[in-house]
Chains A and B, each alone.
Chain A
Amino acid sequence: MSTTTAADNRRKAPRGERVADWADGRLGIYSLAKTNMRKIFPDHWSFMLGEVALYSFIIIILTGVYLTLFFVPSMSEVEYHGSYVPMHGIRMSEAYASTLDISFDVRGGLLIRQIHHWAALVFLAAMFVHMMRVFFTGAFRKPREVNWLFGFLLFVLGMFTGFTGYSLPDDLLSGTGVRFMEGAILSVPVVGTYLSMFLFGGEFPGHDVIPRFFSIHVLLLPGIMLGLLVAHLILVFYHKHTQFPGAGKTNKNVVGMPLLPVYMAKAGGFFFLVFGVIAALSALFTINPIWALGPYRADQVSTGAQPDWYMGFSEGLIRAMPGWEVVLPGGYTLALGVFVPLMVFPLVLAAIAVYPFIESWVTGDKREHHILDRPRNHPVRTGIGAAWISWYLVMLIGGGNDLFAIHFHLSINAVTWFVRIAFFVVPVLVFIATKRICLGLQRRDRDKVLHGRESGIIKRLPHGEFVEVHEPLSQEQLHTLTQHEQRKPLEAGPEVDENGVKRKVPRVQKLRAKLSRGFYGENTQIPKATPEEFKEISSGHGHH
């Protein structure tokens, strides 16, 4: 009997279900779907920045695979006889010639090249802004520190994948970038010349660097990035997404809409939006027109040579650094003018990467945090982030010092000197200004909570006084503006113990207490409104 009913059931089950059953028996998909199919994702516009990065990465892979079908990563010299008439008879590497072919002989090849390059720029920009979103809202706090590092590594690897990628066409501009890299490598003390010989397979430029960059660009770096990306996404699922404070949102829940159907449609649809916009950009705005630049020749250069934007800050470092060079006893040269920028470059990036660990050490906070901070409620962190961005922008200006000089009719020397000074001064000023703005916003929040929202309605009182009517806030708003925690600085412990004997406080403890005072001590926060203050004002003399 039971066998027939089972057979009946099997016949009745729709085809999709039978396929799912088959897969479940082998892959266990039902248990996976049980927790994830209706997984809740909170909604906020800033949460889509990471999605832009993810989707542009997918676009880059799709278009990149297409490009490998036509690109020839070879530095063998050929004479060009393709469709682009102005280059006829000119000697060039096969890499450059095949890039011309992709642009002029493969139908749609130019479009795919343009989409690939545009998507790369968008990818890096989206990762950068996404990283800043995570930074300013404190989304990097426990349990997400490791995922912050994964994201940071993706950003750094993305920069190098971009650099190796735009070097591949072997055009005059990108070859100049590779030469710059060679000069930077040569400046490394002791082993610089060896590293250069090994990378280029001999003297610059040799015949090996393009094929080597090709395997780094299409295999090594994207492979690592794909792994990191998957790990990044698994952790996002595992930790569940952070959410902004608000009514009904706690550290123990996640409020939003389910993956199926809302986020399937929204996030899936968003992939097509990003792809569509990048495709339209590629149709409308030409990027990296290598046919206008000409093939690379080691003795030629064009003016206004610029790297892609994400490499601009390293360009700024190398342009602003004074040309210090020391010849050590024994006949060894220390090219500080190049080596110092080469070392500052990773330090700039590391400065932002290590911040979450410094903050967690300074706060001594071991709890999980799933409710995001409003940036104003963390003035020191927000100030540090803004200072870092300003530092980055100063270097970016330095990287384009010739363009600034030309477009704003300034002396190149003046722009360079501005960058040299601003490198040290601007972050400090930005830190101070940002912190003050945060404190001002905290004061405004406090006023809003205690006195209500300025309604813009002016009322005339019987005795002639004019007052503005303040509307009390809803409980949701009151909760949102007061839910944050205000920390107290850590203490290093008393200098003397209970017996009056001088106690030895470890230096690390002292430093930690000092940093903690800097983060949460005096002048770092405005006391938020307390329920008592609120009750007194709202019950007592009415509000205006």
Chain B
Amino acid sequence: MSQTGSNKDVSEEHLPSARATEHDGTVEAAGNPFADPGLPPHEHRVQDIDERAAKRSERTVALLFTVSMLATVAFIASYVIFPIDKIIYVFPVGHVSALNFSLGLTLGVALFCIGAGAVHWARTLMSDVEVADERHPIEAEPEVKAKVMADFRQGAAESAIGRRKLIRNTMFGALAMVPLSGVVLLRDLGPLPEDKLRHTLWEKGKLLVNQNTNEPLRPEDVVVGSLTFAKPEGLEDDAHDFQSEIAKAALMIVRIQPEDIKDKRELDWSHEGIVAFSKICTHVGCPVSLYEQQTHHVLCPCHQSTFDLTDGARVIFGPAGHALPQLRIGVNKDGYLEALGDFTEPVGPSFWERG
């Protein structure tokens, strides 16, 4: 870069002394001092005047293209050599898949070197003389416009669309109606809502089954400070509609000292301080799952709605609009926790018909 070659390679016209007179930017006092001086004269690059520099650029470009070829060979070699499950340590990225790492880097180098070669070629060896092209207005000349309008009027007149209004109106009517078929066809995308969002699998007598152990819960399994997730008895993980059912029925169970429960109904619906609330956030339906033992607050990790489980799970912060629905629970004759009915209000996000 720094080497410009000896003077004998440089023709006279490119020497600074010869070029200085072409354009020295002096302003004629009489004219507008801010006038556009026109395109500045072309400044030669070292490659334009020194063949050795040009040769060097040529070699650089060829080297980049060659590196690209080698990288492609390396890509194929990596594909063959590395088993897919081989993990290697690479500083500073850490433990990575050897195959992914080598394929990605060789592909990256192969592509990048083609690009770098092409750009270097363009910047150093292709002509960098700036050329001006004319622009023409986008809008048509008045004659063209007049011709188009005349053609249009003639065409419209020949169709008689303006005169025969009956044809025009019925055509518009037909064109407006025919897309309705397409709309009708969308009807079977899904069932109507009806009261589907109002009911869950919970009903009187259904046992509360621990999500982790798959065993029915007893009151003594739920200790103060613990958070237990439960599902209704009979809902197995491999059931066809498991996802849609658990999306409504998921339950969150905690035990609070009965004297700490502020809400009367909550206390009535609990069993010895064990309360069961819907796990589905009333904001947009994330599972609420961050439980603060000391305050009995639960936080939704998605949008940070916070509910107070000692006070009917009312919203104390965040974007949720109403409290988490509570499930009324009791203990059956065998000593297991059971539901005393379904939720009395829809679980999850609000909707128009919710009421």
- Which residues of A come within 8 Å of B, CB atoms? 39-40, 77, 83, 91, 104-105, 107-108, 110-111, 114-115, 143, 176, 179-180, 182-184, 186-194, 196-206, 208, 238-240, 247-248, 250-258, 261-263, 265-266, 268-286, 296-305, 318-325, 327, 331-338, 368, 370, 401-402, 412-413, 416, 449, 474-476, 478-479, 482-483, 529, 531, 534-535, 538-539
Contacts and interface: CB of A to CB of B under 8 A. Distances in A.
A531 B118 contact: no
A283 B103 contact: yes
B108 A276 contact: yes
A279 B39 contact: no
Contact of A108 (B35, B103, B116, B189): B103
A143 B139 CA distance: 9
Nearest to A535: B33
B32 interface: yes
A475 B35 contact: yes
B174 interface: no
Interface stretch (B9-17, B162-170, B237-245, B326-334): B237-245
A254 B320 CA distance: 56
Given A319-B303, A336-B321, 19 more contacts: A40-B131, A176-B302, A182-B349, A186-B350, A205-B247, A239-B138, A240-B135, A253-B135, A265-B122, A266-B119, A273-B116, A282-B100, A298-B287, A299-B231, A318-B303, A332-B355, A335-B349, A479-B36, A529-B34
B255 interface: no
Contacts of A534: 33-34
A270 B290 CA distance: 48
B274 interface: no
Interface stretch (B48-56, B153-161, B190-198): B190-198
B341 interface: no
B232 to A, nearest CB: 12
A318 B105 CA distance: 40
A84 B177 CA distance: 54
Given A114-B100, A194-B193, A301-B302, A272 B114 contact: yes
Given A201-B189, A269-B118, A304-B301, A476 B25 contact: yes
Contact of A187 (B243, B322, B349): B349
Interface string B267-302: 000000000000110011111011000000000011
Given A91-B238, A305-B301, A179 B284 contact: yes
Given A182-B349, A261-B122, A333-B354, A297 B246 contact: yes
Contacts of A476: 25, 37, 40
A254 B132 contact: yes
A53 B61 CA distance: 26
B93 A270 contact: no
B152 interface: no
Q: Which of A105, A298, A305, A401 has the most CB of B within 10 A?
A: A298
A318 B284 contact: yes
B301 A83 contact: no
B227 to A, nearest CB: 13
A269 B122 contact: yes
A183 B29 contact: no
A81 B54 CA distance: 59
Interface residues of B, number: 104
Contacts of B322: 323, 325
B89 interface: no
A204 B247 contact: yes
Nearest to B99: A107
Contacts of A253: 132-135
Contact of B104 (A107, A114, A196, A325): A114
Nearest to A235: B138
18 contacts: A193-B352, A194-B193, A205-B247, A252-B135, A255-B130, A279-B111, A281-B108, A284-B101, A299-B211, A299-B287, A331-B355, A333-B350, A333-B352, A338-B283, A475-B27, A476-B37, A531-B33, A534-B34
A257 B79 CA distance: 41
A265 B127 CA distance: 12
Interface of B: 25-27, 29, 32-40, 79, 84-85, 93, 96-97, 99-105, 107-119, 121-123, 126-135, 137-139, 186, 189-193, 196-197, 211, 229, 231, 237-238, 242-244, 246-248, 250, 279-280, 283-287, 289-290, 301-305, 315, 317-322, 348-355
Given A275-B111, A280-B104, A299-B246, A197 B191 contact: yes
Nearest to A144: B138
B192 A197 contact: yes
A91 to B, nearest CB: 6
Given A256-B131, A258-B131, A104 B84 contact: yes
Given A183-B349, A189-B352, A276-B115, A251 B135 contact: yes
Contacts of B301: 301-305, 402
A290 to B, nearest CB: 14
Given A108-B79, A266-B122, A257 B112 contact: no
A63 to B, nearest CB: 11
A502 B248 CA distance: 68
Given A266-B119, A475-B27, A273 B287 contact: no
A531 B326 CA distance: 80
A441 to B, nearest CB: 18
A268 B118 CA distance: 8
Contacts of B290: 303
A277 B115 CA distance: 10
Given A273-B115, A325-B321, A475-B25, A250 B350 contact: no
A75 to B, nearest CB: 8
B25 A204 contact: no
Contact of A319 (B32, B127, B135, B304): B304
B118 A247 contact: no
B279 to A, nearest CB: 6
Given A192-B351, A199-B190, A368-B138, A180 B304 contact: no
B115 A270 contact: yes
Nearest to B281: A183
B317 to A, nearest CB: 6
A151 B174 CA distance: 34
Closest 5 pairs between A and B when the two form their complex, measured CB to CB: A283-B104, A183-B284, A269-B118, A276-B112, A325-B321
Contact of A412 (B35, B97, B121, B304): B304
A538 B110 CA distance: 57
A183 to B, nearest CB: 3
Nearest to B35: A479
A327 B355 contact: yes
Contact of B243 (A239, A297, A538): A297
Nearest to A529: B34
A333 B231 CA distance: 28
Given A269-B118, A333-B354, A276 B190 contact: no
